[in-house]
Amino acid sequence: MLRLLLSWCLLGLVAVRADQEEPRVLFLGDSITYDGRWVVHVESAIRAQRGLARIPIVNMAVPSETVSGLSEPGHAGGSFMRPDVRERLGRVLAAYKPTLVVLCYGINDGIFQPLDEVRFKAYRDGIASVRADCLKAGAKVVLLTPPPYGVDKPTDTAAYDQVMATYASWLVQQRRFNWQVVDVRTQVLGAIATAKKTDAKFIFSRDGIHPGDEGHLMLAQATWEGLAPMMKWNARTVFAEPNKSKPLAQSMMLLRNAWLTKTGHKRPGLPEGLPLEQAENRSNALISEFLKTP
């Protein structure tokens, strides 16, 4: 009887440990996510949640990347084809073992051409494939709609922004199949409209693709307001001020570069990261600095 009781107690301990597995957050995306300013805002809010101050949070986005596997002729002056996240996803999942994956793709997937069913299907299939692989690896998956494109010069870029609108609409529709989707596009468009009413000279993105500081803040706010309720986090959490979050930005870049170097990718020109153990030690010190700053 004693052995039986001990066995049940041990089983109970195993179950508790499995249920309390340390959260490990992974961000995947293209150059907007690689830049990481919106990711750092969100990270500051995650670290403000009870028990999550020191959890692993890593941004492994890659510039130019797609989920569709498509690349336009002459991309980057013909120096390289756009990388496909599916080429590296298995390595990333196996090495990092995330419990939550936040994905933001789409802006590159239409390869800056008018809406086309073949390209649209490649995006849909790619998103479904990446999501399925992440779920199979044991991670929760939250998908972000593509952000707006060319909103500061709508007459020149309206056709491609409509492609992004179509991609975003399809993604939102997948909620009916219990996909967890945050519609950042709609909220960011609203924030841009409000900003332009206040300041007619407000610019979301000077090149039509990559947001500035205020644009990254808009992306972060839209992401957090959708992500937090899904994860049962406090959606009212305020992001850390830029001066306070500087150590987080440094940590994000250290870990991003180290993990991309460790897991490999097909994008030329990215900086070589430190050995992972060294990067993680430096990151831990930076996170301690962030947490101590009033």
Q: Which CATH number fits domain 22-235: 3.20.20.70, 3.30.420.40, 3.40.50.1110, 1.20.1630.10?
A: 3.40.50.1110
pLDDT digits (tens, 9 = 90+) for 192-249: 999 999 999 999 999 999 999 999 999 999 999 999 999 999 999 999 999 999 999 9
pLDDT tens column, 12-26: 333 323 334 789 999
Asked if the model's pLDDT at residue 292 lies above 90, the reply is yes
**Residue 9: what are its φ and ψ, rounded to 5°?**
-65, -45
pTM: 0.92
* Nearest CA among 89, 183, 86 for reference residue 143: 183
SS3 62: coil
pLDDT tens for each residue of 94-139: 999 999 999 999 999 999 999 999 999 999 999 999 999 999 999 9
pLDDT, residue 11, reads 38
pLDDT of residue 202: 96
How many other CB atoms are found less than 10 A from the CB of residue 134? 23
State how far the Cα of 8 lies from the Cα of 119, in Å rounded to an integer: 54
For the chain, the structural domain boundaries read 22-235
- pLDDT score of 6 more than 70: no
Average pLDDT, the chain: 92
pLDDT over 70 percentage in the chain: 93
% of the chain surpassing 90 pLDDT: 89
pLDDT band at 294 (very low <50, low <70, confident <90, very high): confident
At 157 the pLDDT is 73
Question: Are the C-beta atoms of residues 67 and 126 closer than 8 Å to each other?
Answer: yes
The pLDDT-based confidence of 41 (bands split at 50, 70, 90) is very high
Q: DSSP string spanning 130-151? A: HHHHHHHTT-EEEEEPPPP-ST
Q: DSSP letters along 24-40, please?
A: -EEEEESHHHHH-HHHH
What's residue 4's pLDDT? 38
